[in-house]
Chain A
Amino acid sequence: MENPKKTVLHGWHVDQGANMAFFGNYDMPLWYKTGAKAEHLAVIGAAGVFDTSHMAAVAVRGRGARALLQLCLSKDLETCIGKEKTALVDGRCVYGIFLAEDGTVIDDAILYQLQPGSFMVVVNAGMGGIIAAHLKKYGVGQEVEIHDLTDKVGKMDIQGPLAAIILQKVLAHSSTVFDRLSYFSFKGSFGPFGADSAVTLADGTSVLVSRTGYTGEFGFELFVEIDRLLPLWLQILNAGMDKGMLACGLAARDSLRAGAVLPLSHQDVGAWPFLNNPWQFALSWNETMTSFTKDFIGGPALLKSRWQKYTLPFAGFDPRKINAGEGSFVTKESGEHLGTILTCTTDMAIGRVDGEIVSVAGNKEFQAKGLCCGFVLLEQLCAPGEKVVLTDGKRKIVVEIRADVRPNRTARRPMDKMLG
């Protein structure tokens, strides 16, 4: 194994006694001494903070920037905002996929419009250089500048119902920052994109505050200059320490996102056509889902594709899992082979009551034992409610195909409901 890279918070993680593991070429915390279960539950009931500075960002600027991104991102930037399907504007961000010409996934991303000719693309760990090169390839001859900002952006997430109450303690002018900060919008700017004097921490640090995340819960992704990340991390920990907030590792991040039916790039979406999955909203389908509302890289291949596998969410009936990977597969209850397991983890905040999935969110008395959940890639479509069997060849676990997994998620709650 080559030497893993370290984020600027690495020393803090190690000092806290975190169990560390190699992820996306970085040495990252899996969980801290509190354990992944407590961390997962903290995000449901209070708040959790995550070091996400292993993720990469790419700056795309210039008069040709929007047209290039419209060509390369799967989402239609002219119709991507809200129910009214309006265009991407300053202060809004959108989730989309960078596809190869054959319709397979290079990476998923959130695209931020800072100004009409200034965009930030946030992609997964290790993908900054690859996405920058991809954009440069299609931007040849265009008026566009592309900069890979890998390891130059300080990023952390604060997620959970108390995220705004905690964050407001470290922000200057928090009421202005939070005003009309709807889901998938942001305020502020930082470092490579210039400062915005209206959005800073109390200590004057420029910050970009984004109403996004990867847990399914209410919260923010925060961007600062790389050398400001440790001070921000420590300020937020201090602000949240009496509110049940915990630092959370990648295990809790994975179990939270799986319960929220969010994909992990290169695991749940990857080197196969981006079709027949729960994330088709990331494509620019027309209303009848017969064609796309724009031309984009990978679009024609998807329209012609004969891909007949289906990526489906599932949940079990207890916490038992089957390790995803080689040797594991999915069958019908009759034993007939159905496909493979992409993700299998345990959402510790949920359990079953009379067969129905119940979350500890809003049910303080409920003692959840956790349910296994994740995604399977099947050779035929199964409807929600159908039961399939996960197996590693020895153990067998019956799980249920689901439309959704963890109920009572908070990600889309209005800002004013979350400020107490």
Chain B
Amino acid sequence: MKELSEVIFVEKLKYTEDHEWVTGSGATLKVGISDYAQDQLGDIVFVELPEVGATFAKGDQFGTLESVKAVSELYLPVGGEIVAVNDALGDAPELINQDPYGNWIVEIKPSDSSELEQLLTVDAYRQLLRG
């Protein structure tokens, strides 16, 4: 298990309490899982992705990550429409373990950009992990 000092954080990203990251601004946002999350889950062996065009409310389950240990649900950090999914994860789900910030899972067009303000800053997320 990584010590907190070994966990990678990316300053410009926003985070959620479910250990997801979101690109902070723009018309569309990319969503992935944090380095802490991939370390906790262990080897990811399958990623179940939503259909492009599907819409979800904030907090809806949009997919699952299968690790060797368990199945984990993925929740949408902000409501909106799925405009793209990272198809590379279909053949190589381990990309998330190798580079959790380089390998986004879905891209969404948020329906209510004010929901972005409720996301955690990197400092707040770091604080959450410190417990």
Interface residues of A (CB under 8 A from B): 17-20, 30-31, 35-38, 40, 251-252, 255, 318-323, 345-346, 348, 369-370, 392, 394-395
In contact, B45 and A251 (Cβ under 8 angstroms): no
Residue B23 at the A interface, CB < 8 A? no
Given contacts A30-B69, A31-B68, A370-B45, 10 further A-B contacts (CB under 8 A): A19-B40, A31-B43, A35-B42, A35-B43, A35-B97, A251-B68, A320-B71, A321-B66, A321-B71, A348-B43
Closest residue of B by beta carbon distance from A251: B68
Partner of A323, one of B40, B48, B71: B71
Pick 13 A–B contacts, CB within 8 A, sort by A: A19-B1, A30-B42, A31-B43, A36-B42, A36-B69, A37-B68, A251-B68, A322-B71, A345-B68, A346-B66, A348-B43, A348-B45, A395-B64
Residue B81 at the A interface, CB < 8 A? no
User: What is the CA–CA distance of A395 and B63 in the complex, to the nearest angstrom?
Assistant: 10
Partner of B46, one of A252, A318, A323: A318
Which residues of A are found within 8 Å of B45, using beta-carbon distances? 37, 319, 346, 348, 369-370
User: What is the CA–CA distance of A348 and B46 in the complex, to the nearest angstrom?
Assistant: 11
Interface residues of B (CB under 8 A from A): 1-2, 39-40, 42-43, 45-46, 48, 61, 64, 66, 68-71, 94, 97
Which residues of A are found within 8 Å of B46, using beta-carbon distances? 318-320, 369-370
* Known A-B contacts A19-B1, A318-B46, A370-B45; A36 and B71 likewise in contact (beta carbons under 8 Å): no
Instruction: Give the shortest distance, in Å, between B100 (CB) and chain A (any CB).
Output: 14
Q: Which 7 A-B pairs have the closest CB atoms?
A: A36-B68, A37-B43, A319-B46, A319-B45, A35-B43, A19-B1, A251-B68
In contact, B66 and A251 (Cβ under 8 angstroms): no
User: What is the CA–CA distance of A394 and B94 in the complex, to the nearest angstrom?
Assistant: 25
Closest residue of B by beta carbon distance from A250: B69
Which residues of A are found within 8 Å of B40, using beta-carbon distances? 19
Which residues of A are found within 8 Å of B68, using beta-carbon distances? 31, 35-37, 40, 251-252, 255, 345-346, 348
User: What is the CA–CA distance of A251 and B69 in the complex, to the nearest angstrom?
Assistant: 7
In contact, B43 and A36 (Cβ under 8 angstroms): yes
Which residues of A are found within 8 Å of B42, using beta-carbon distances? 19, 30-31, 35-36, 251
* Known A-B contacts A19-B42, A35-B43, A395-B64; A321 and B2 likewise in contact (beta carbons under 8 Å): no
User: What is the CA–CA distance of A30 and B39 in the complex, to the nearest angstrom?
Assistant: 12
Closest residue of A by beta carbon distance from B45: A319
How many contacts between A and B, using CB within 8 angstroms?
A: 63
User: What is the CA–CA distance of A212 and B52 in the complex, to the nearest angstrom?
Assistant: 50
Which residues of B are found within 8 Å of A30, using beta-carbon distances? 42, 69
Which residues of B are found within 8 Å of A369, using beta-carbon distances? 45-46
User: What is the CA–CA distance of A256 and B97 in the complex, to the nearest angstrom?
Assistant: 22
Instruction: Give the shortest distance, in Å, between A288 (CB) and chain B (any CB).
Output: 42
User: What is the CA–CA distance of A251 and B43 in the complex, to the nearest angstrom?
Assistant: 10
User: What is the CA–CA distance of A322 and B70 in the complex, to the nearest angstrom?
Assistant: 8
Partner of A320, one of B43, B48, B61: B48
Closest residue of B by beta carbon distance from A38: B43
Which residues of B are found within 8 Å of A31, using beta-carbon distances? 42-43, 68
Instruction: Give the shortest distance, in Å, between A366 (CB) and chain B (any CB).
Output: 15
Instruction: Give the shortest distance, in Å, between B51 (CB) and chain A (any CB).
Output: 15
User: What is the CA–CA distance of A18 and B66 in the complex, to the nearest angstrom?
Assistant: 20
User: What is the CA–CA distance of A261 and B97 in the complex, to the nearest angstrom?
Assistant: 29
In contact, B66 and A320 (Cβ under 8 angstroms): yes
User: What is the CA–CA distance of A318 and B48 in the complex, to the nearest angstrom?
Assistant: 11
Closest residue of B by beta carbon distance from A367: B91
Which residues of A are found within 8 Å of B66, using beta-carbon distances? 319-321, 346
Instruction: Give the shortest distance, in Å, between B72 (CB) and chain A (any CB).
Output: 9
User: What is the CA–CA distance of A327 and B66 in the complex, to the nearest angstrom?
Assistant: 18
In contact, A323 and B1 (Cβ under 8 angstroms): no
Closest residue of B by beta carbon distance from A249: B42
User: What is the CA–CA distance of A311 and B25 in the complex, to the nearest angstrom?
Assistant: 52
User: What is the CA–CA distance of A228 and B64 in the complex, to the nearest angstrom?
Assistant: 44
Closest residue of B by beta carbon distance from A40: B68
Instruction: Give the shortest distance, in Å, between B88 (CB) and chain A (any CB).
Output: 14
Which residues of A are found within 8 Å of B43, using beta-carbon distances? 31, 35-38, 348
Instruction: Give the shortest distance, in Å, between A190 (CB) and chain B (any CB).
Output: 33
User: What is the CA–CA distance of A369 and B43 in the complex, to the nearest angstrom?
Assistant: 12
Closest residue of A by beta carbon distance from B61: A394
Partner of B1, one of A18, A348, A395: A18
User: What is the CA–CA distance of A360 and B43 in the complex, to the nearest angstrom?
Assistant: 18
User: What is the CA–CA distance of A271 and B109 in the complex, to the nearest angstrom?
Assistant: 51
Instruction: Give the shortest distance, in Å, between A19 (CB) and chain B (any CB).
Output: 4
In contact, B1 and A17 (Cβ under 8 angstroms): yes
Which residues of B are found within 8 Å of A370, using beta-carbon distances? 45-46
